[in-house]
Structure 1
Amino acid sequence: MPELTTILLAEDEPALGQIIKESLETRKFKVLLCDNGEKAYETYKAEQPKLLVLDVMMPKKDGFTLAKEIRVLDDTIPIIFLTAKSQTQDVVEGFTIGGNDYLKKPFSIEELIVRINNLLKRTKTQQKAELITLGAFTFDFPKQVLQFKDNQPQQLTHREAHLLFHLIKNKNQVLDRSLILNKLWGNDDFFSARSMDVFISKLRKKLSADTNIQIINVRGFGYKLVC
């Protein structure tokens, strides 16, 4: 029996949340329903869903704030916003902070399902393309696996994988230290910077099998992956 795709639904209107949940479950999705932003954030970290459907106006933490915090941890998970707001600047803000789609209330459940399926297909296609060759290594970003030739694959942590992905995207260029700290750690303070140094050291060790690969510290600016 195939594993169900898990969707996190954050909606504070009980009746609407239940209708959406039950409708998606009839389409063979597993739905985690939360009625506020704080609960949704904790559920996201615990369950690692494949897609997020977030109401914008929620108690404790609104959908935009929730999406910003999740984007620090994961810049690939699809996000659909649900909102009663209709002003253009709200739509623009939703896309600016990392939303992939936007549905204004009231909406058709069928339309929501179509948009969910389209985003999941697009994400699957993108993930297939994310098998990256780095020197003698193969890096499977979606699975967070690094493999040297035919050796045993190395499982990376979420943060190691994202840090390596950004280094590779900027290969042979300086990766701005402050930019990546804010993106992956949420700030660029002293303790986060020390933490990133530790992760860089771990990546250097994992990549040491190929002597043509180096991560260079460019003092005052950031890091450069040279290959």
Structure 2
Amino acid sequence: MANKIKLLLAEDEAALGQIVKESLETRDFNVILCENGEIAFHKYLSESPEVLVLDVMMPQKDGFTLAKEIRAVDDSIPIIFLTAKSQTADVVEGFSIGGNDYLKKPFSIEELIVRVHNLIDRSKTQKTSTTLEIGDYSFDFPKQLLKFKNEEAIQLTHREAHLLFHLIKNKNQVLDRSLILNKLWGTEDFFTARSMDVFISKLRKKLKNDERIQIINVRGYGYKLTV
């Protein structure tokens, strides 16, 4: 039997959310159902789902706001918006935030499943074929290999690789410290913050062959990678 797809569903309509959850779970999905955007964000950080299905209109934190926060630390996870809205402006906003697809209510479970599978297949293809470039370095994120020009590639640890990935994908922008701590360490207490500082120092040393590359500490907020 194929592994179940872990899907996070953020839907404040309890009856609809339960119906979608139960329907998906009969089709080899593991569904994390959240009743609002605030809960959904914390579950995203702790549960590491493969795909997000977010209702746009939710209490405490709407789907667009939630997607913005998630995209600050993860620009690859597939996001599908659910909405009763159909105005062009809302659709455009959803895609501009980083949504990958848009499903208007009411919708069929079969259509949702097809869209989820399409996005996951596309995401897996991109991950296996993508090498990121930063200055004179190339970074193979799936293999966690960092290579300088024609020298032999060095193996990064899991956290080094994920931290560098987020820095590169947010190049020349400040990467929020608390979001990364929660994403990679699951907490943002003093000891994990110090641990992150150590990993930043290690990355600086491994990127030192290109003097143009800088990882800048933006006091009180986070880090910024510049070239």
For the aligned pair, the TM-score class normalised by the smaller chain equals 0.7 to 0.9
- Output the aligned Cα RMSD: 3.2
**Are the aligned partners of 1:8 and 1:44 in contact in 2 as well (CA < 8 Å)?**
yes
2:145 counterpart residue number: 146
Quick one: which amino acid aligns to residue 159 of structure 1?
L
| Closer/same/farther in 2, CA of residues 142 and 44 from structure 1, 3 Å limit | farther
Q: Any gaps of 5 or more consecutive residues in structure 1?
A: 167-174, 188-194
Q: Deviations over 1:70-93 (max 9, x none)?
A: 111111111000011121111111
What is the distance in 2 between the residues matched to 1:83 and 1:68?
17
Give the drift of 1:161. Answer: 2.1
Give the secondary-structure state (helix, strand or coil) at the position aligned to 1:73: coil
Q: What TM-score results when the alignment is normalised by the length of structure 1? A: 0.74
| Closer/same/farther in 2, CA of residues 160 and 91 from structure 1, 3 Å limit | same
How many residues end up aligned between the 2 structures?
199
Summarize the alignment of residues 68-147 of structure 1 with structure 2, pairs less than 5 Å apart.
68-132=68-132, 139-142=139-142, 145-147=144-146
Give the drift of 1:109. Answer: 1.0
Q: Deviations over 1:167-195 (max 9, x none)?
A: xxxxxxxx53xxx11xx3289xxxxxxx9
* Aligned counterpart in structure 1 of residue 165 of structure 2, from 156, 161, 175: 161
1:192 counterpart residue number: none
| Closer/same/farther in 2, CA of residues 112 and 186 from structure 1, 3 Å limit | farther
What is the distance in 2 between the residues matched to 1:222 and 1:137?
13
What is the distance in 2 between the residues matched to 1:71 and 1:47?
16
Give the secondary-structure state (helix, strand or coil) at the position aligned to 1:57: coil
1:25 counterpart residue number: 25
What is the distance in 1 between the residues matched to 2:67 and 2:47?
16
2:64 counterpart residue number: 64
Quick one: which amino acid aligns to residue 25 of structure 1?
E
**Are the aligned partners of 2:141 and 2:161 in contact in 1 as well (CA < 8 Å)?**
no
Q: Give the fraction of aligned pairs with identical amino acids, expressed as a percent.
A: 60
Q: Any gaps of 5 or more consecutive residues in structure 2?
A: 179-193, 217-223
